[in-house]
């Protein structure tokens, strides 16, 4: 908020020639200064409350991840995948506090375009440039990236490997990428405060299609590739065998929770809400841009869900709720980059293409025998990359200049008449994220593999990690497609009571679920 200045010496001549004009001017200026201070405090309080509420929504996405992961794996690994989700938040909290935030947003003369060097363990907090609410919000983003990776390597990964990769990803790999594209010092940031912008634009990744989703998806890609597919995922001839998740209800619940949390993920990335565009005093300001961002997010997800529904119906011949949920999330992951700078109609285009990107990536994964229980690499990596390209094509000039103010004449979307410079910056972002995550997470997973710390034994995998690593099953259930030989539990269908016995009332194998 702009500071208010009132000078009694300047005001006194306007009060006439009264003897007490100077005293009156002092009183008036003092009152106006007090009001200005209160308004400034109120602005900070409103913006901080908005950011904290957004942080809570993003953190609630962890519950969505947990439910989605639990429903997408077999029942014998439910406790394991739930524990890894808790671990992502807990280990990520400490590593991001100690190192991650400083690498990502640490200001100071020692910071540069590659990495931050200040505010380790939140030293010098709070400051005019960052408060505790900002740390909390960014931490919620960091653990979201780690949660994406855990889905790719589910059902076959040692617990110690989760501890190592989660801490490394949230404490070093992810923060470096967020520094590049979100920090005021980052070499490719559109908000860079000094020096030239990349292609006079910077790479626009408003809420993290690349920074969050591609980082998590590509890390999961390398983890799953190095581990190899789950036992039974492909037969001896290389034919794909579906290892279906055990609970579609949890998948739907998790998807809705993620949908809800995305309203903190995307609109919350404005960080403030009480900001006017132009002279102020009108209905239009950053609060309106926040609403528009929520609308574009909604439309992209809805379009992707419906496109996946009918697309998979044409390709597979049935309506699959799990595929629809993944399509929905793919649309959200794609729109996350340009949600604040595109028109609502463009979000529909984004969601439509995202659905086909996900379907195509899944087909490629099947051909190369890549196994990802949650389709995390395809969904977050593939759709995230499409989202960055989409922004370079459809970003609107007016919205770009409002959201990234201070440097008029920025490049905008190619299809909107803005030339190809923004698109070039987006392509650079895709390439450097892929290269950075490959260069860091690939060797980490390979080293864990060589040290025999990555994958569990075949016996443990067949029996299920809940039984062999966590002391028992999550709940009484039986995987109908599991042929591991481990004693399970079968639930009988309850037949209606009938006082007149019938000859064929005896239970048959089809009477069990």
Secondary structure element (H or E) that encloses residue 155, with its range: none
Q: What is the pLDDT of residue 119?
A: 86
φ, ψ (nearest 5 deg) of residue 232 = 90, -5
Q: What is the pLDDT of residue 286?
A: 93
Q: Which two tokens stand for residue 187?
A: 């070499």
Domain ranges of the chain: 52-115+129-231+291-470
Whole-prediction pTM value? 0.88
Please list, in sequence order, all residues whose beta carbon lies within 8 angstroms of the beta carbon of residue 169, skipping any fewer than 6 positions away.
92, 145, 146, 149, 215, 216, 219, 441
CA distance 287 to 57: 18
Strands (E) across 414-459 are located at none
Give the CA dihedral 109, 127, 55, 267, nearest 10 degrees: -70
CA distance 29 to 25: 6
Q: What is the pLDDT of residue 7?
A: 63
Gyration radius of the chain over CA positions: 27
Q: What is the pLDDT of residue 505?
A: 43
Which residue is associated with the tokens 């229980």?
Answer: 373
Q: Per-block average pLDDT, block size 10, for the chain (513 residues)?
A: 59 61 69 81 93 97 96 94 93 95 80 86 84 95 95 94 95 97 94 90 96 98 96 89 92 98 97 84 87 98 98 91 97 98 98 98 95 96 98 97 90 96 98 98 97 95 91 72 51 43 44 36
Q: What is the pLDDT of residue 220?
A: 97
Q: What is the pLDDT of residue 3?
A: 56
Please list, in sequence order, all residues whose beta carbon lies within 8 angstroms of the beta carbon of residue 189, skipping any fewer than 6 positions away.
180, 181, 182, 183, 197, 202, 203
Q: What is the pLDDT of residue 509?
A: 41
Which of 489, 458, 477 is CA-nearest to residue 232?
458
Which of 326, 395, 386, 396 is CA-nearest to residue 354?
386
Tell which CATH architecture fits domain 52-115+129-231+291-470. Answer: Orthogonal Bundle (1.10)
Q: What is the pLDDT of residue 95?
A: 95
Q: What is the pLDDT of residue 479?
A: 57
């Amino acid at each position: 908020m702009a500071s208010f200045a009132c000078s009694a010496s300047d005001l006194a001549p306007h009060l006439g020639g009264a003897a007490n004009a100077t005293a009156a001017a002092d009183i008036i200026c003092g009152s106006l200064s007090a009001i200005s201070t209160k308004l400034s405090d109120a602005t900070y309080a409103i913006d901080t409350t908005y950011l904290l509420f957004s942080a809570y929504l993003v953190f609630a996405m962890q519950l969505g991840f947990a439910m989605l992961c639990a429903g997408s794996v077999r029942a014998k690994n439910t406790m394991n995948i739930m524990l890894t989700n808790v671990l992502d938040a807990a280990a990520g909290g400490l590593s991001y506090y100690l190192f991650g935030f400083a690498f990502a947003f640490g200001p100071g003369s020692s910071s540069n375009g590659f990495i931050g060097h200040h505010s380790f363990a939140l030293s010098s907090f709070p400051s005019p440039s960052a408060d505790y609410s900002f740390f909390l919000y960014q931490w919620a983003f960091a653990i979201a990236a780690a949660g994406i990776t855990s889905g790719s390597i589910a059902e076959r990964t040692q617990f110690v490997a989760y501890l190592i990769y989660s801490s490394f990803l949230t404490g070093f790999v992810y923060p470096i990428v967020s520094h590049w594209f979100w920090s005021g010092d980052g070499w490719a940031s559109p908000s860079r405060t000094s020096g030239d912008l990349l292609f006079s634009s910077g790479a626009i990744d408003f809420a993290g299609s690349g920074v969050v989703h591609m980082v998590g998806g590509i890390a999961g890609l390398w983890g799953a590739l190095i581990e190899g597919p789950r036992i039974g995922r492909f037969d001896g001839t290389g034919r794909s065998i579906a290892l279906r998740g055990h609970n579609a209800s949890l998948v739907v619940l998790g998807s809705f929770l993620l949908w809800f949390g995305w309203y903190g993920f995307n609109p919350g990335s404005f960080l403030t809400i009480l900001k006017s565009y132009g002279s102020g005093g009108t209905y239009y300001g950053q609060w309106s841009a926040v609403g528009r961002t929520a609308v574009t997010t909604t439309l992209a997800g809805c379009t992707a869900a419906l496109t996946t529904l009918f697309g998979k119906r044409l390709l597979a011949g049935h309506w699959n709720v799990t595929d629809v949920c993944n399509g929905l999330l793919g649309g959200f992951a794609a729109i996350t980059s340009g949600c604040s700078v595109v028109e609502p109609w463009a979000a529909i285009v984004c969601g439509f293409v995202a659905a086909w990107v996900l379907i195509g990536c899944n087909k490629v994964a099947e051909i190369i025998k890549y196994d990802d229980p949650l389709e995390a690499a395809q969904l977050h990596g593939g759709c995230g990359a499409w989202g960055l390209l989409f922004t370079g094509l459809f970003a609107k000039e007016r919205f770009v200049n409002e959201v990234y103010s201070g440097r008029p004449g920025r490049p905008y979307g190619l299809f909107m008449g803005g030339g190809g410079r923004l698109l070039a910056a987006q392509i650079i972002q895709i390439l450097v994220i892929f290269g950075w995550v490959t260069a860091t997470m690939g060797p980490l997973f390979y080293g864990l593999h060589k040290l025999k710390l990555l994958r569990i034994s075949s016996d443990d995998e067949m029996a299920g990690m809940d039984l062999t690593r966590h002391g028992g099953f999550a709940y009484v259930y039986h995987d109908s497609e599991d042929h591991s030989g481990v004693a399970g539990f079968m639930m009988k269908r309850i037949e209606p009571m009938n006082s007149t016995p019938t000859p064929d009332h005896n239970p048959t194998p089809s009477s069990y679920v």
